[in-house]
Chains A and B, each alone.
Chain A
Amino acid sequence: MRTLHIKLWRNLWTLKGQGGAIASVIAIGVAMFVMSFTSLDALRASQESVYQNQRFAHVFANLKRAPESLAERLREVPGVATLETRVQAPVNIQMEDFDQPITGLVLSIPDGQQPQLNRLFLRSGQLPDAHRTDQVLVSEAFAEAHELQPGDRLSVVINGRYQQLLVSGVALSPEFIYQIRPGDIMPDFSRYGILWMNRSAVEAAFNMDGAFNNLSLTLSPGYSAESVIAGLDNILAPWGGLGAYGRDDQLSHRYLEEELTQLETMALFLPLIFIGVAAFLLNVVAARLIRTQREQIAVLKAFGYNSFAIASHYSALVLVVVLIGSAIGVFLGVWIASGLAGIYQEFFRFPWLEFSVRPGVALAAIVIAGGATLVGTLSAVYRAFSLPPAEAMRPEPPANFRRTLVERMGITWLSQPSRIILRNLERQPVKAGMSILGIGLAVALVMLTGFMRGSVSYMLDVQFRLAQKQDITVTFNEPAAGRTIHELRALPGVRYAEGFRTAPAILRYGHREYRGAVQGYVPESQLFTVLDAELQPIEMPREGVLLTDHLARMLGIEPGDILQVSVQEGRRPELNIPVAGLVTEFIGVGAYMHRDTLTRLLREDDTISGAFLAIEPEHQSELNRRLENIPRIAGVNFRENVITAFNEAMDETVLMFTLFSMVMAGSIAFAVVYNNARIAFAERGRELASLRVLGFTRAEVSFILLGELLLLTFIAMPVGFALGIGLSWLLTWGMQTDLYRIPLVITPQTYATGALVVLTATFLSALIIGRSLAKLDMVSALKAAE
């Protein structure tokens, strides 16, 4: 057995090129797998640990105003473990050197103390002094965006009154891990911040002495959020309750969950593809590698080695390669995951990260890669072993060939070398098919990560150029009279303004429900258009509601069905509205109506909740200042900011992913092509050397070998494009949420990038093989074969 071990190491050394290529494919597959699962694990574990340690509440509720004494009644609702009341209110924040409006949310904490629930994690500084009313904690993301530190001053407009505050500390909360302004689709840390102040200070500022307008609670074991919510809503209804909700509807938690679900899709999907491709390649390559060892196997067998010894020998050979590749892969995967966690930290504001590598993840990756390799190896060893040794030692008889399909169809003008290429491919269609599939998958992998950029800009184009044309969206603290629109129209720089009415509501159909809003728009709106499936504008119907197609699918409702709408505002009517049609939207979901119809159903006179503005850009700064000073305005959104934020986020995450995948897909393409070439070279070296003897030049001989590779690569292109479209479709399908749905748009650049990466890989392997061709030994080709 010792000699066999020596042979093992010598073989490994001889096969270092091919072994290296296989190891790198394994490394890539394993790295992707480990990276995805490790970073996802880190996010999940961090979420759990932060929720637990910081006592993230289970149920939340907003109301207009209730006396603190009501809290006792609420605590008696069965299932409530800990209940804490708060005062919360919108504020406008002013920063020097930042001329755009900043809005914020101020939340009360017990004077000078940590709250019982949703406890704060202090990154720096300390809690406000119990006896001061001018001290404030700011959220870390906002503090970073404006370089705020404890001791800095902050100007805010609280309830219409200008106030100077002192930053006492920078904090993080389990409630705002994903810090996003309600209604936004992307976080904007510089224009939205969270502030925490002493309860007495907030009460005083908002005239809420001895009252509260927000509460959160944890559940006793065995109670569901639903039962407690029903109890709360009953008690809170007379106090202007806006409907209690569980974690599933808590903004940060919901977004975090959506993002994590998307990541899970990506984390499962991409690495499974990568490791699948790698496994497939390994199977093919290992099988071919063993075939070239046919004679050696026969000799060993002739010496009396049994099949087990030989199988172990070759298994050990490939396992060494698998282990080297896996070790590199695990290391690489963990390393990239830790880098990736830093990128996620930008969006997910966890006070701390729980980063650990589950041995199971690494093990699973190794088992998948190793298993596939072993199957290929053992089946090839078995085939070699089943031959009688005398036969296996003899050179293989000339293989059977026949005219290819193209020739049989009447194309006869092919040169002899072209015939050689075609017949070789057609004689082993499975092998050629596998190679084409392998190269095609590499093309598809590049496309899969590359198409995102084009799709996202298409998505933004449709949403913000075709559907929504307003420059600014203004939302009010509470519904205002329709004539308020004239005030806005009169502001400097406003070209045009349109009021809209949004009523928060629970939309129900059958047993499914969605917590959102019904939105009323003026018909023939110039700034807001709803689009059909062909992206053509739809006229807002006089009666009935239009639903985003995705929302309709979520509710299982179709046009003609009756949608139940429980309005959560004002008189809180229960409405039954027929679905008049479906709307195509890529970002967000909505229920859209004629504004007059909506206000009529709400039993209101003409009211609006906000307005869309079209502005003259040169007056923007002045307009910003004026808007900031209108107390009824709770939020101001700029379309361009949203687009920029989206693009920046995409650039940060997608770009890195794209580069990463390009390198990986490129390596896979290289490994496929190179191994193909190496094996073709091993199988046909004699044939090529014979041609050299007959007077063929190096270039002419190279054509036969490299022409085959090139042909395979070219055939693989359309296959890869088709696979790329399919995989991309699967990915967009798996990633659709009510936040956004990435449309499948594959730009010519995406195709071109896929093709280019793979062609480059082919070219590189051709260069390397070309060097071996130059060293072809003519004399040995004439001796007994192989």
Chain B
Amino acid sequence: MVGTETAQAVFHTRGLTRVFRMGEVEIHALRGVDMDLYPGEFVVLLGASGSGKSTLLNILGGLDAGTSGEVWYRGKDLSHASEKVLTDFRRYHVGFVFQFYNLIPSLTARENVAIVTDIARDPMTPEEALELVSLTERMDHFPAQMSGGEQQRVAIARAIAKKPEVLLCDEPTGALDSKTGIKVLEVLLDINRRLGTTTAVITHNAVISDIANRTIRLSDGRVSEVIDNPNPVTTDQLHW
């Protein structure tokens, strides 16, 4: 089944569904998603709340498994992977950035990055990663001593320090004001350009798709539209 196209794609899903059983109610979060992500691209997964975008991202990141359908990562089948394979997958290949940063409050910025580089293969140093997000000055501060934007940049540094092949960002600007949000997006774009990391950002904010190479719109658990954007704008032209 591994065709040229699938081999090329970083992620490749076919007929992916996810059904949650809440007591006696079944919620169809994904109703057959066919999607490919290609190396080095910056993709925005756009959708309203309840469209299934977070569910999709969780399955791509190895946090959850689909109910049926296929999920391939670089020719490896994730849909039937063991707990150990998924842990290794997250550990070595994926960088995560979350809406609520999920930093460890008891560790400084540098240590929050180090907690990932300690267990990665051939990572950059925490200092290098923090320099990429321009936080060299704040390296020894604890999360409680930093603003939301700074915390999110630490989270990005933590995600990229292992030099992952993909960066999965779940509403990275969701908890930030627009000015700070734009700054965070700029960091993500910069990383994408400099390191060539395939980046998927999920958001309900349509404006963000202007900076992406491609926008995949999700509604009601299906891909409703794929828009190529040959001329992405720079972040200074964004506002919301």
Say if the beta carbon of B88 comes within 8 Å of chain A.
Answer: yes
Contact (Cβ within 8 A) A690 B104 = yes
Interface residues on A, range: 20 to 34
- B159 smallest CB distance to A (angstroms): 8
Say if the beta carbon of B122 comes within 8 Å of chain A.
Answer: no
Contact (Cβ within 8 A) B119 A401 = no
A687's contact among B64, B104, B118, B145, by CB below 8 Å, is which? Answer: B104
A395 to B84 Cα, complex, angstroms: 32
A222: chain B residues within 8 A (beta carbon): none
A398 to B118 Cα, complex, angstroms: 23
A401 to B103 Cα, complex, angstroms: 13
- B101 smallest CB distance to A (angstroms): 9
- B161 smallest CB distance to A (angstroms): 11
Contact (Cβ within 8 A) A778 B63 = yes
Say if the beta carbon of B160 comes within 8 Å of chain A.
Answer: no
Contact (Cβ within 8 A) A782 B64 = no
Say if the beta carbon of A419 comes within 8 Å of chain B.
Answer: yes
A423 to B105 Cα, complex, angstroms: 10
Q: A399-B144, A400-B142, A778-B63 are in contact. Are A784 and B100 (CB under 8 A)?
A: yes
Which residues of chain A from 393 to 409 have any CB-CB distance to chain B below 8 Å in the complex?
395, 397-402
B111's contact among A419, A690, A697, A700, by CB below 8 Å, is which? Answer: A419
B63: chain A residues within 8 A (beta carbon): 693, 778-779, 782
Say if the beta carbon of A501 comes within 8 Å of chain B.
Answer: no
Say if the beta carbon of B206 comes within 8 Å of chain A.
Answer: no
A419: chain B residues within 8 A (beta carbon): 106-107, 111
- A773 smallest CB distance to B (angstroms): 13
- B63 smallest CB distance to A (angstroms): 5
Say if the beta carbon of A360 comes within 8 Å of chain B.
Answer: no
Say if the beta carbon of B180 comes within 8 Å of chain A.
Answer: no
A695's contact among B92, B98, B100, B111, by CB below 8 Å, is which? Answer: B92
Say if the beta carbon of B87 comes within 8 Å of chain A.
Answer: yes
Contact (Cβ within 8 A) A398 B143 = yes
With both beta carbons as reference points, the residue of chain A lying nearest to B171 in the complex is identified as: A782
Say if the beta carbon of B78 comes within 8 Å of chain A.
Answer: no
Say if the beta carbon of B182 comes within 8 Å of chain A.
Answer: no
With both beta carbons as reference points, the residue of chain A lying nearest to B113 in the complex is identified as: A416
A692: chain B residues within 8 A (beta carbon): 87
A427: chain B residues within 8 A (beta carbon): 106
Say if the beta carbon of B204 comes within 8 Å of chain A.
Answer: no
Say if the beta carbon of B158 comes within 8 Å of chain A.
Answer: yes
> Mostly helix, strand, loop or mixed at chain A's interface?
helix
A536 to B94 Cα, complex, angstroms: 76
A695 to B96 Cα, complex, angstroms: 10
Q: A397-B144, A400-B144 are in contact. Are A695 and B105 (CB under 8 A)?
A: no
User: Count the B residues whose beta carbon is within 8 Å of the partner chain — how many?
Assistant: 37
Instruction: Kindly supply a per-residue 1/0 record for chain A positions 733-755, scoring 1 wherever the CB is within 8 Å of any chain B CB and 0 otherwise.
Output: 00000000000000000000000
Contact (Cβ within 8 A) A785 B100 = yes
Contact (Cβ within 8 A) A693 B103 = no
- A705 smallest CB distance to B (angstroms): 13
B107's contact among A400, A416, A694, A784, by CB below 8 Å, is which? Answer: A416
Say if the beta carbon of A353 comes within 8 Å of chain B.
Answer: no
Say if the beta carbon of B48 comes within 8 Å of chain A.
Answer: no
A423: chain B residues within 8 A (beta carbon): 106-107
Contact (Cβ within 8 A) A416 B118 = yes
A695 to B114 Cα, complex, angstroms: 13
- A436 smallest CB distance to B (angstroms): 19
A421 to B100 Cα, complex, angstroms: 22
Say if the beta carbon of A491 comes within 8 Å of chain B.
Answer: no
A395 to B89 Cα, complex, angstroms: 30
Say if the beta carbon of A415 comes within 8 Å of chain B.
Answer: yes
Contact (Cβ within 8 A) A401 B142 = yes
Contact (Cβ within 8 A) B105 A782 = no
A119: chain B residues within 8 A (beta carbon): none
Contact (Cβ within 8 A) B100 A420 = no
Say if the beta carbon of A691 comes within 8 Å of chain B.
Answer: yes
Say if the beta carbon of B189 comes within 8 Å of chain A.
Answer: no
Contact (Cβ within 8 A) B144 A782 = no
B102's contact among A399, A400, A686, by CB below 8 Å, is which? Answer: A686
A696: chain B residues within 8 A (beta carbon): 87, 91, 119
A417 to B119 Cα, complex, angstroms: 11
Contact (Cβ within 8 A) A694 B106 = no
Interface centre among B98, B105, B106, B111 (most CB of A within 10 A): B106
Contact (Cβ within 8 A) B100 A782 = yes
A684 to B159 Cα, complex, angstroms: 21
Say if the beta carbon of B115 comes within 8 Å of chain A.
Answer: yes
A181 to B209 Cα, complex, angstroms: 101
With both beta carbons as reference points, the residue of chain B lying nearest to A423 in the complex is identified as: B106
A700: chain B residues within 8 A (beta carbon): 119
A419 to B151 Cα, complex, angstroms: 19
Interface centre among B96, B111, B115, B143 (most CB of A within 10 A): B115
A419 to B108 Cα, complex, angstroms: 10
With both beta carbons as reference points, the residue of chain B lying nearest to A424 in the complex is identified as: B106
- B179 smallest CB distance to A (angstroms): 21
Say if the beta carbon of A781 comes within 8 Å of chain B.
Answer: yes
A95 to B151 Cα, complex, angstroms: 91
Instruction: Kindly supply a per-residue 1/0 record for chain B positions 143-171, scoring 1 wherever the CB is within 8 Å of any chain A CB and 0 otherwise.
Output: 11100000100000010000000000010
With both beta carbons as reference points, the residue of chain B lying nearest to A414 in the complex is identified as: B111
With both beta carbons as reference points, the residue of chain A lying nearest to B84 in the complex is identified as: A697
B91: chain A residues within 8 A (beta carbon): 694-696
Contact (Cβ within 8 A) A781 B114 = no
Say if the beta carbon of B58 comes within 8 Å of chain A.
Answer: yes
Say if the beta carbon of B136 comes within 8 Å of chain A.
Answer: no
With both beta carbons as reference points, the residue of chain B lying nearest to A697 in the complex is identified as: B87
Which residues of chain A from 665 to 699 have any CB-CB distance to chain B below 8 Å in the complex?
686-687, 690-697
With both beta carbons as reference points, the residue of chain A lying nearest to B106 in the complex is identified as: A423
With both beta carbons as reference points, the residue of chain A lying nearest to B151 in the complex is identified as: A398
Interface centre among A397, A399, A416, A785 (most CB of B within 10 A): A416
B88's contact among A402, A690, A695, by CB below 8 Å, is which? Answer: A695
A693 to B62 Cα, complex, angstroms: 9
With both beta carbons as reference points, the residue of chain A lying nearest to B55 in the complex is identified as: A779
- B23 smallest CB distance to A (angstroms): 15
A400: chain B residues within 8 A (beta carbon): 142, 144-145
**Can you pick out 18 interface pairs between chain A and chain B where the beta carbons lie within 8 Å of each other?**
A398-B105, A398-B143, A402-B142, A416-B104, A419-B106, A419-B107, A419-B111, A420-B106, A420-B107, A427-B106, A687-B102, A687-B104, A691-B104, A694-B115, A695-B92, A695-B94, A697-B87, A700-B119
Known A399-B144, A782-B170; 17 more pairs at CB < 8 Å: A398-B151, A399-B105, A399-B106, A400-B145, A402-B142, A416-B118, A419-B106, A427-B106, A691-B104, A692-B87, A693-B61, A694-B96, A694-B115, A694-B116, A695-B89, A695-B90, A695-B94
Sort A-B residue pairs by CB-CB distance and give the 5 closest, nearest first.
A695-B91, A416-B115, A690-B102, A423-B106, A695-B90
